[in-house]
Structures are given as C-alpha cells and as structure tokens.
Structure 1
Amino acid sequence: MLSLQIGPLALPTGLVLLFVSLCVAYGVAWWLRRYRQLPDAGPLVSDLLIAGLLAARLAFVLRWHEQYFAAPWSILNIRDGGLLAPAGIAAALAIAAWRCRRPAMAAMRRPLAISVASGALAWGVLSAGMGLAYDQPTALPSVALQALDGAPTTLAALAGGKPMVVNLWASWCPPCRREMPVLAAAQQARADIVFVYANQREDAAAASAFLDSSGVTLRNVVLDSAAALGKAAGSSALPTTLFYDAQGRLVDTHLGELSDASLASKLQKIAPPDSL
C-alpha cells in the first residue's frame, strides 16, 4: 500500500510510518526519563534525525549533481523525495558515537540506544504488518484502459516487452502539472523505456484540453476512468508513478512530484543493461 487515506488527505505510507516510529522513540525516551530517572535522550534523537535527513539529502544531491546543478533551486525542493537512506543512517550513527564518546555522556548511551532501537523496531513491525495486510502487486495490472481516441488498450500491450513508467495524473492536480515537462523530456530522451500517462477519473475532453493548453507533447496518454490502476497499486494520491522492468515486475514507486534527479534515480533501476 503506497498511501493512507486520513480524512481528505492521502499521505505516503512511508511518511506515516516515519512519524509513528518517531513518536515511539520520543515516547520511550520520555518514559525512561520519567519512570527510570535516566537522562532525557529526546533532544539527541532530534539531533540524529536532523543530521540523518541532511546527510541523506546531501548524498542524493551529490549523486545526481548534474540534474540539480542545472536548476540549483531544486536542491531545496525536498518534495521530490531525493534521499539516500544509507548515507543518512551512517551520519546519524556517526553523530551518536561522537556525542556519546565522552565519559560525561556515558549515562546517555543506554537511553539513547533503547529509544532509537524502539523506533526502529516500530518501523520494522509496522512495515511488515502493512506488507502482510496489503499485498503490493509485482506485475503489470491487467486493467482495461482507453486511448484518447477511444481505442481500448492495456499496459502489457503498450509495454511491448520494454521497461515501463506509468504516471497516474489528473488535470486538476498541481504537482501533476508541474512534473509533466520532466516526464515529457525523459520520454523524448529514452526510447528504451515506455512512458504511459494514465489519467485518473477524467474524460477525454478534460485530458485533451489540459494537454493542448500545457504545450507538453506526450505519447501513450490513456484514460483510467475508474482509477483502477491507483487501486491496484494501493495509492489514492496523485501523482503516483510506477516503475516496471522489462519483465513487467514492479521495481519502484514514487508518490508526489518528480524532479529530473528523482526520475533519473528511478529510471536507473529499470533501464536495460546496455543503456546504463
């Protein structure tokens, strides 16, 4: 399941799990301070979180520096989800070791370790539970789609044995409109990957009107009037982008607006070996 519906909001599942895990870590730190009279590890947990996020973002920016340096302002646009988790975890652990190295901080080691471990355990248990409760499809959904001219089609027919990017969008969705030029440029540049733009719950007139006014040229625009692809992927949020390899296996997903760098990082995972 890629997103959770909370009232009128559709939130990425990963973001919800992170929030809950942090609440567990802070809650355990508070309990240890209140009932076990141990030092308060909460402020240090916050420091580790900030350091980890900054390091993960910096590592991602350096990895895809060509895309970011072409538009430096985009470095600040963290909505693209550009983070390298291993770099963030390494930075957080390094900060923890550095801060707790002194004898004066020895008493902080135990509550910090218990708090962080509790948060990590909560993340693992919740992630496993979500995986068991909501099976994520691993193959191309056999959903009946319709081209703008009314012709029926399917994702398998459009893929033609190539890797595929499936973008779920709607004309009323601001981040969908903002990322369209990025996807259009990638479609023009990558003949080895099939791009499909599945409009959700709109008719051909609405989709065509948007495309005509936007000036963006797209191939493989289809209509998914029942939002069946979103249901199959477990996402009610827009935009959602699905990345399939040449065998039709779901390799990666992205919720929210794509940047040049975040799209490039996803395409690398499905690109044919001879194009890497």
Structure 2
Amino acid sequence: MSASLEIGPLALPYTLLLVMVAVALGSVVAQRIGRRAGVDVEPHAFRVLLVAVVVARFAFVWQYRAAYLDAPLGMLDIRDGGWNAPAGLLAAWVAGLLWVWRRRALRAPLLAALASASAVFVLGTIALALLPQNEAPLPGITLARLEGGTTSLQSFEGKPTVVNLWATWCPPCQREMPVLQRAQAEHPDVHFVFLNQGESAEVIQRFLVGHRFDLRNVLLDARGQAGAHFGQRALPTTLFFDATGRLVDQRIGELSQATLAQRLDALRPSPTTPP
C-alpha cells in the first residue's frame, strides 16, 4: 500500500488525511451538540486544537533538539512533518478537561468532540498499521551514474539505504539537499542514493556545482522508472530501506535534519536486535 493518496500532481499522506478527518469530525460534533445546548463551543475547540498542535510540535523538537541547534528557526518550519502525535493527543485531553472544569456548559459538546476525534485518530492509526504495507525491495533497475557507468539499485543492499527522488527545479528538493549531504558525510554506515528524475547529466552537474554540493551515488532516472516502481510521483520523496533491501519507511515532502534523524534511528537495528 502506498503511503499517500495521489490526485494528479498532489500527494497527500494518509496520516495527514487521517488527522484532517478526525479534526473535521470533532468540529461537526462540537457544533451540533453545542447548538442544542445553546453554547458556542467552536472557539474553545479551536483552542484545544491549537494546544494539541503546539505540544505535538514541541515534543518532537525537544526529542530531536540537537538537530535544531545550528538553525533554531527550523523549529518553526512545520513543513518537515515533525510531530509527536501521542503528546498532542494527551495535551488536547488535558486542555479540554481544564476548560470543561471551569465551564461546565462546555462539558457535553467539548468532550464529545474530543472523544469522536480521538476515536477516529486512534482507530485510523491502527487500521493504517494493519493494512498491507508496501515493503517492496530495492528493484533491479540499472541506471546511469552521473560520473559515468551504470549501477543497479540492488547493489546497495547490505547497508541501510536512503533513496531520494529529486529534481533540480523542485524548491523543497533544493532546501533539503544540504541536510542529505550532511547526513551522507556523518553516516558512512548508510548508503545515500540521489535519484534524479528526468533531467540530463549536464543540468544536474550544473546544479550541483552551482550550489557546491558534493554528493556520492547520484543516479539518472531519465524515464522515472523508480518513481513508477514505487508508485510515487511527488517530489521530493525519500525511501528508507533496511540492510536487506526491504522498504521500511518513506517520506513525501521535505526532510529536515530532525525528521531525517528520526527515520535513521528507526532504520538501524536496536542493540538488542540479533544480526
């Protein structure tokens, strides 16, 4: 199963859609019950949602705070998708309970909204985890290397492998490239593969030289074979494979140093895991 719903060039991760559905349902429930009780609950529901979002982001930032030391303003850039959902859900309940304790008229609509949204989110998360996942292995696709010659993607098996689908014209691809370059230098135990989609060697070389990027494993996917194989057309998309070449995670959209660190932590076996 793909990790996103693709509508033309737009790719919406299912996790984001799940949050949107949960929030929408909670809002509808709050309005209907509040209307019957003669209470305007919408401002309070919005404040609860705001608390949940802020805490979910703060909890993630705190967990990976070392990754934000070089660029602290990156903490505010939510485009990287860094959230701690359990912390946000807990914060929503704490805030909601505090509000209904102070204003008992809010009890029925606000708690009903929280309960319905939480149920959708929890059950949806469980359903997504139980659905068959796309654990496709590294494909036997042979592609041209930027410096000449060819390489099969399967040749990267044996180490955890990060495959980044990108293009020079893609602004989020450009923004995340320094993060990936730094990770490539800091993690020699991980293969980083930069799979350009549909551009010529001259265009790619000019881009890398112009931005002073020093990357290994830059491959040319002129016909978009890898994107078609994994069912991904959105750029950037980053695929994470374990040492056996099995796809274990993917990120659609821009990576920050923190969200990349989160996935690299999950990619490596724990010290107690037998080889």
| TM-score where L is the length of structure 1 | 0.85
Which one is further off, 194-203 or 161-170? 194-203
2:48–2:92 CA contact under 8 A, matched in 1:
yes
Q: Is the 8 A contact 2:138 2:247 kept in 1?
A: no
Aligned to 2:53: 53
> SS of the counterpart of 1:248?
coil
Secondary structure (helix, strand or coil) at the match of 1:217 reads coil
Cα 1:151–1:127, aligned 2, differ >3 Å: closer, same or farther? farther
* Equivalent of 2:221 in 221, 224, 229: 224
State the Cα distance separating 1:49 from its structure 2 match: 1.4
* Unmatched 5+ stretches in structure 2: none
Amino acid at match of 2:101: R
The residue number in structure 2 matching 1:25 is 26
The amino acid that maps onto 2:213 is V
1:115 maps to: 113
C-alpha spacing 1:200/1:98, structure 2 compared with 1 (3 Å): same
Number of positions where the alignment pairs a residue of Structure 1 with one of Structure 2: 269
Gaps of 5+ in 1: none
SS in 2 for 1:262: helix
Corresponding residue for residue 162 of structure 1: 159
CA distance in 2, matches of 1:23, 1:269: 31
The alignment-based identity, stated in percent, is 43
Alpha-carbon distance, 1:38 to partner: 6.1
8 A Cα contact 1:163 1:272, kept in partner? no
Question: Structure 1 pair 273/16, CA: closer, same or farther in 2 (3 Å)?
Answer: closer
Tell me the SS of whatever aligns to 2:174: helix
Other structure's SS at 2:6 match: strand
Query: How far 1:272 sits from its partner (Å)?
Result: 4.7
1:2–1:233 contact (8 Å) kept in structure 2: no
- How many Å apart are 1:115 and its aligned residue? 2.1
User: Counterparts of 1:152-191 in structure 2 under 5 Å?
Assistant: 152-159=150-157, 161-191=158-188
Tell me if the contact between 2:93 and 2:114 (Cα under 8 Å) persists in the aligned partners.
Answer: no
Determine which of 243, 262, 265 is the counterpart of 1:265. Answer: 262
**Conserved? CA contact 2:193–2:216, under 8 Å:** yes
Q: CA deviation at 1:71?
A: 1.3
Residues 51-77 of structure 1: CA deviation (Å, up to 9, x unaligned): 111111111222222221221111111
| Among candidates 195, 198, 219, match of residue 195 of structure 2 | 198
- 1:137-175 Cα deviation digits (max 9, x unpaired): 21324151412255443322123x111111110111011
Structure 1 contact 79–257 (Cα < 8 Å) conserved = yes
Give the equivalent residue in structure 2 for 1:77.
77
SS in 2 for 1:109: helix
Q: CA 1:120–1:38 in structure 2 vs 1: closer, same or farther (change >3 Å)?
A: farther
| Alignment correspondent of 1:93 | 93
Deviation (angstroms), 1:195: 0.7
